Structure 1
């Protein structure tokens, strides 16, 4: 009896697998629309960690710009921003703009721990109304964008990017 049940179970599993496979072949795959960053660096005015408002274009100036949307509770963001902070001297010729939607107190605590907020080319901005997140359609952090001195998009990434790659993209 057990042998018969096992054979029946085996036949049902094989048949079910074949049926599901046949259904999958008949469906056309759904393609997700590609979402890409804006070709031109948008000019939002946001508050920084000191409560001062700043224009993203003013902060970017006419330099290559590394624009990162992050969340301090994200371990990938912690790793990426931590790696940048360890090699901050290599970024001194570029504008670094870090933006988050987090509450100000959380952002300040994280930023203080990085030890780079007093560098003149480093800017931490608060996207309190989620304007930037909505505009960029942020779905994952860290979202990393590199713009040239003319504020045109050069590269975009999601997740951790090796520092050498960021520096290479910024120098192009």
Structure 2
């Protein structure tokens, strides 16, 4: 019983540490556009807030959040949205067709692949979907993992 309590305490402490270590400045990254071309920090569109969303095409939470984002897209017109996935390119269009039709073709939305698997060690998400809203000066405004992130971001954008 004592060992179980100690183990739970250690897990709780580690989870607090991970949350406390969220990067407050946008980490350096290189992701890839669906055409295979690299996309790095220097390629970010300037003058708007930047929203990074780590998603998985098979994740039910990600599917719901993409649907909410698509439904409320007008509230995100002044935000650059970068949707990053570890998934293979062939499955990504079906995700958008099924859960957020047309979202991936919006002018301020870019879908990127994390082929080098750097998102997780650089941004330190705790679960899917992970959302990071950065100010124009690349400082973190809001981090959310799991359900409800789009709603929180909409409140912050008001």
Verify same fold: TM over 0.5: yes
Partner of residue 83, structure 1: 68
Partner of residue 141, structure 1: 128
SS of the residue 2:17 aligns to:
coil
Deviations 1:30-53 (A, max 9, x none): 221522321111232221223333
1:95 CA drift (Å): 0.8
Contact 1:146/1:155 (8 A) holds in 2: yes
5+ residue gaps, structure 1, are: 1-19
Within a 5 Å distance, the mapping from 1:47-126 to structure 2 comes to 47-113=32-98, 114=100, 115-126=102-113
Q: Give the alignment's TM-score, normalised by structure 1.
A: 0.75
Partner of residue 152, structure 1: 139
Corresponding residue pairs, total:
150
Partner of residue 155, structure 2: 168
Partner of residue 115, structure 2: 128
Question: Partners of 2:93 and 2:41 in 1: how far apart?
Answer: 19
Higher relative contact order, structure no. (Cα contacts within 8 Å, ≥ 6 residues apart): 2
5+ residue gaps, structure 2, are: none
Larger Rg: 1
1:57 CA drift (Å): 4.7
CA RMSD across the alignment: 2.4
Q: Give the alignment's TM-score, normalised by structure 2.
A: 0.81
1:127 CA drift (Å): 0.0
1:153 CA drift (Å): 0.5
2:39 is the counterpart of 1:46 = no
Question: Partners of 1:73 and 1:129 in 2: how far apart?
Answer: 20
**Among 16, 34, 37, the residue aligned to 2:17:** 34
